[in-house]
């Protein structure tokens, strides 16, 4: 069985500050890990994914995440927050590269950007 | 290439009615997934279909819910005799081969009165 825990349902940062969104997972098999972003009333957009290659993954919009097996973590970071980053962020785990099964999602973290 | 399309975007039903949610995958995608998002919750996997086949329905409630993906036309998620607890956002995702990332549609927001 797989599970995802996102620490902090709401995270608030100032514009220009570091963004850190936490994600811890559990999986009985080597995991594939994903971060999605959801803007209001829209579907989910893939930010980045880890599929057992490099442990530091770079995604779109300046986001990156590091897979740490020893900590079972896949935290999402961005060096400098922008107002347009305000959205809901979901961490997800799967047993394949992204499509061979359903993904297990965390409850999401709402990112608030203070001007 | 148009993205995943879902309709309707908003659906209101009274208790006991039927809800039909449609999903048209991206062109060339033959794998479809349905997820449900309850308020303040993450997405929960419901069912995974390929053309004319249900591959994994482990997340589907045992009663009142069904899904299909016919040879022609969109995938349909059908909820019979809706109850208030069915109120949620239902998202569809598609994938070209089942081994690639899933592309999500904008969702259908179902409200049961």
With 80 as the cut, is the pLDDT of residue A100 above it?
Answer: no
pLDDT of amino acid B1: 56
- Give the other-Cβ count within 10 Å of B18's Cβ: 11
Mean pLDDT of B4-31: 95
Specify the residue for token string 């900590």. A71
A89 near B CB under 8 A: no
Separation between Cα atoms, residue A65 and residue A50, nearest integer Å: 8
Nearest to A104 among B45, B48, B56 (CB): B45
Q: Bridge partners of A91? A: A35
Chain B CB contacts of A34 under 8 Å are 101
Residue in chain B lying closest to A91 (CA): B42
- Interface check for A9 against chain B (CB to CB < 8 A): the answer is yes
Q: Residue A28 above 80 pLDDT?
A: no
């Amino acid at each position: 069985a797989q599970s995802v825990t996102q620490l902090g349902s709401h995270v608030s940062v100032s514009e220009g500050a570091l963004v850190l969104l936490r994600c811890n997972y559990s999986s009985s098999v080597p995991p594939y890990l994903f971060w999605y972003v959801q803007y209001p009333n829209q579907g989910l957009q893939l930010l980045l994914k880890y599929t057992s290659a490099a442990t530091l993954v770079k995604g779109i919009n300046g986001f990156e995440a590091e897979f740490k097996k020893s900590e079972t973590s896949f935290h999402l970071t961005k060096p400098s927050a922008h107002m347009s980053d305000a959205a809901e962020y979901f961490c997800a785990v799967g047993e394949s590269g992204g499509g061979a099964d359903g993904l297990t999602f965390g409850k999401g973290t709402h990112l608030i950007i203070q001007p | 290439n148009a993205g995943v399309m879902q309709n309707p975007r908003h659906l209101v039903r009274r208790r006991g009615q039927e809800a039909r949610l449609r999903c048209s995958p991206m062109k060339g995608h033959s794998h479809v997934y349905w997820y449900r998002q309850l308020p303040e919750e993450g997405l929960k996997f419901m069912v995974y279909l390929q053309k004319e086949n249900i591959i994994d329905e482990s997340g589907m409630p045992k009663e009142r819910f069904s899904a299909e993906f016919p040879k022609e036309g969109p995938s349909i998620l059908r909820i019979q005799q809706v109850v208030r607890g069915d109120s949620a956002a239902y998202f569809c995702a598609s994938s070209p081969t089942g081994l690639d990332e899933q592309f999500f549609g904008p969702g259908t927001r179902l409200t049961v009165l």
